[in-house]
Structure 1
Amino acid sequence: MLIDYKSSGVNLDAADDSLNRIKALVKSARTPQVLGDVGLFAGAFRLPADQKKHPVLL
């Protein structure tokens, strides 16, 4: 039995459309500490280098 995204209720076109519509809003709140781009699996945020050489919060 093959189960694909569509038959399981996931609409990839709608997900892409939603992501594209909010990208501008999210990017407007971006700071230099934010690493990466909107739509990636996880977020990465550069932390102050007080105790570590290149600290990043994931």
Structure 2
Amino acid sequence: MGKEVIFKRMGLPLKEVPSDLRNTVLSDIEDAKLLMHLTRFFSSAFTLTAKQIYKNLKQHKKP
């Protein structure tokens, strides 16, 4: 007595999405991807920049 998995029927039958809604969703996905890439760029560059600032401050304090 196997149970039927109801998630297999979810979204069936496939239906066509209106083009304006599809374009809006794809545009939002592109914006989210861009934001994620920019966040990754600035967060990875932040640690390097902080290390360089600390190193420069340390060198300038030496008499």
Q: TM-score, normalised by structure 1?
A: 0.31
Determine which structure has more spread, i.e. the larger CA radius of gyration. Answer: 2
Structure number with the bigger relative contact order (C-alpha 8 A, sep ≥ 6) is 1
Higher helix share: 2
Q: TM-score, normalised by structure 2?
A: 0.30
